[in-house]
Amino acid sequence: MNLHQNPSPYHWSGRKSDQLDYWHQAVQTISSLDLVSTSERKVGILGYAGEEGVIRNQGRLGTLEGPAAIRKMLGSVAYHLPENLPLLDYGDIFTINQDLEGSHEAISQITLDLLKSHHFPVLLGGGHDLAYAHGRGVQNYIAEKGEKLGIINLDAHFDLRPLADGKAHSGSPFLQLAQEFPDNFNYLALGIQRAA
């Protein structure tokens, strides 16, 4: 079962220019999750085209289209990062047969691999359950180095809800991280609704 789909250059498009002016000119699409392993710093983009976590949380659907929509929007945005900073798009991870946990495991491992190969991982969602998979990959990386992680969640909700029938969902990512990494869970939520 293949959870990965190669990136489409079609998603990175925009106005033509003779110099590096737009994101679509800077992003390179990389097939088959062949991580570029040079020692230089780079950005690794990974999409999570999944909404099983949202379904389990009885939320609003549409997150499946999130990564493609974000790429299309970013393609025509002005580029202000260093010209020599590689932006590498490694495609999307999907959820197949409601196996959210399998998707989370894949994303956590890819995040860890990106960090080990000198990438700054940028993950495009997808449901907010992505925060667990992303956070877990980062936590596993920094554990090897003895470092601490601080999480800032800009959200109207805490996303500290208990699992639903023992299963993760889009409202539980930070509870999962708190339970799995109790000695390194430093969490700040900003924008919380009074009703949350």
Tell me if the pTM is above 0.85. yes
- The number of domains in the chain is 1
pLDDT digits (tens, 9 = 90+) for 47-62: 999 999 999 999 999 9
| CA 43/CA 48 separation, integer angstroms | 16
What CATH number has the domain bearing residue 56?
3.40.800.10
The answer to the question of residue 140 being in a domain is yes
Helical segments of the chain, H only = 23-26, 52-56, 66-75, 100-116, 130-145, 173-180
The answer to the question of residue 62 being in a domain is yes
Q: Is the pLDDT of residue 133 over 80?
A: yes
Say if CB 156 and CB 193 are below 8 A apart.
yes
The answer to the question of residue 47 being in a domain is yes
The answer to the question of residue 182 being in a domain is no
Residue 71: HSE in the Cβ half-sphere, 13 Å Cα cutoff: 31
The answer to the question of residue 78 being in a domain is yes
Helical segments of 9-125, H only = 23-26, 52-56, 66-75, 100-116
**Domain limits at 85?**
4-148
The answer to the question of residue 144 being in a domain is yes
The answer to the question of residue 169 being in a domain is no
Distances (CA, A) of 131 to 41, 49, 67, 156, 174: 23, 13, 14, 15, 7
Q: Is 36 in a helix, a strand, or coil?
A: coil
Sorted by sequence, the CB contacts under 8 Å of residue 116 that are 6+ apart come out as 141
What's the pLDDT score for residue 42? 97
The answer to the question of residue 46 being in a domain is yes
Q: What percent of the chain has pLDDT over 70?
A: 99
Q: Is the pLDDT of residue 2 over 80?
A: no
The tokens describing 21, both together, are: 């002016």
